[in-house]
Amino acid sequence: MNDCEEYRERLADWHMGRLDTTAAAELEQHLNTCADCREALAATSFVLDSIDNLQDPEPPVRVKADFRAMLDDFKAAEKKKVSVGRIWSSLSRPRLSLAYGMVILLCIGGAYLLGRSNKQGQEMQELHARVHEQKQTMMLAMLDNPLASERMKAVNYTSDLKEVDKRVIDALLATLNNDPNVNVRLSTVEALAALGNHPEVRTGLIKSITTQDSPIIQLAIADVMVKLQEKRSLDSFKELLKQKGLDDEVRQKVKETMTKLI
């Protein structure tokens, strides 16, 4: 078994937050350098996220009874075949059979028809929290990657996070102000604009106005301030207009922005 196969067997556990800190860090480091394993992770995440998105309808009593009988038969048959651990391991392979994946989804979807207790619901919430934490940790680690393309992926990855905490916001603002690649900074402006409901994001963008030296970034931030109708940015734009050598297009854009914000 080569290294990639060993890592792929851990993808489901990583996605579900079951790896310890050391093993998770080792896997994340490998993912940063292996496109095939990232593809395998995407396949695994698709199946597991599909499971997460299943609804919880309340089935008729007869459906419960029929399914419970079917499930008992299924368990008895499976004892003669393969273990549950190998089923989950097979999900991490990039060439996952669509038919096999659908069987897994249907089986688990059927299990959902049995209903879940309050304890199970709490366990699922805790699991989601751990997975979310792992996703944020991976995103933050990717922001330190020396490759601009990987840092841009990390920035764009924020759109997949349902919630972000202060660590992510601070990291994005630091990227906006310090990343040497203008394309990464431009992607960061777009990511921060989508998080405009956070007061820290608005404040950080306003402070960044006078520190940016790229006309592209200055124009992008001006558009965001209009979109957010952030009137507090007026003073920063006034300071920007005082800067010597300010690009003519930026100067005109700033004046138009200020007019729209007054």
What's the pLDDT tens digit per position in 97-124? 444 455 455 555 555 555 555 555 666 6
Q: What is the pLDDT of residues 236-261, one digit of tens each?
A: 999 999 999 999 999 999 999 999 99
Mean pLDDT of 112-141: 66
Alpha-carbon gap, residue 230 to 255, rounded angstroms: 15
**What pLDDT score was predicted for residue 120?**
57
Average pLDDT over all residues of the chain: 77
Q: How far apart are alpha carbons 192 and 84 in whole angstroms?
A: 42
- Reading phi first (left if > 0) and then psi (alpha if -120 to 50, else beta), residue 97 is in beta
Is residue 135 predicted with pLDDT exceeding 60?
A: yes
| CA–CA–CA angle 170, 27, 85 (5° rounding) | 125
For residue 172, give the amino acid letter: L
Question: Which is more confident, 212 or 95?
Answer: 212
Among the ranges given (78-92, 161-175, 198-212), the one the predictor scored with the smallest mean pLDDT: 78-92
Report yes or no: 156 and 191 within 8 Å, Cβ to Cβ.
yes
Residue 182 contacts by C-beta under 8 Å, 6 or more apart in sequence?
A: 214, 216, 217
Report the percent of the chain where pLDDT is more than 90: 35
- pLDDT band of 56, cuts 50, 70, 90: very low
Q: What is the largest CA-CA distance in the chain?
A: 79
pLDDT for position 105 = 55
Residue 204's pLDDT is what? Answer: 95
Distance between CA 134 and CA 251 in Å, rounded?
A: 43
Residues 224-238 have pLDDT tens digits of 999 999 999 999 999
Per-residue confidence (pLDDT) for residue 91, from 0 to 100: 44
Number of neighbours of residue 152 by Cβ within 10 angstroms: 23
pLDDT at 207: 95
Q: Do 100 and 94 touch, CB atoms closer than 8 A?
A: no
Distance CA 45, CA 51 (A): 10
- The model's confidence at residue 3, banded by pLDDT at 50, 70 and 90, is confident
pLDDT of residue 117: 52
Q: How many angstroms separate the CA atoms of 37 and 117, rounded?
A: 36
Residues contacting residue 244 through CB under 8 Å, at least 6 positions apart: none
Do 210 and 236 form a contact (C-beta atoms < 8 A)?
Answer: yes
Please determine, for residue 86, whether its predicted confidence score (pLDDT) is greater than 90: no
- Arithmetic mean of pLDDT, 35-58: 68
- 160-200: pLDDT as tens digits: 777 888 888 999 999 999 999 999 999 999 999 999 999 99
User: What tokens appear for 167 in the block?
Assistant: 């660590």
Q: Band the pLDDT of 20: cuts 50, 70, 90.
A: confident
pLDDT of residue 106: 53
pLDDT (0 to 100) of residue 94? 44
Whether 205 shows a pLDDT value over 50: the answer reads yes
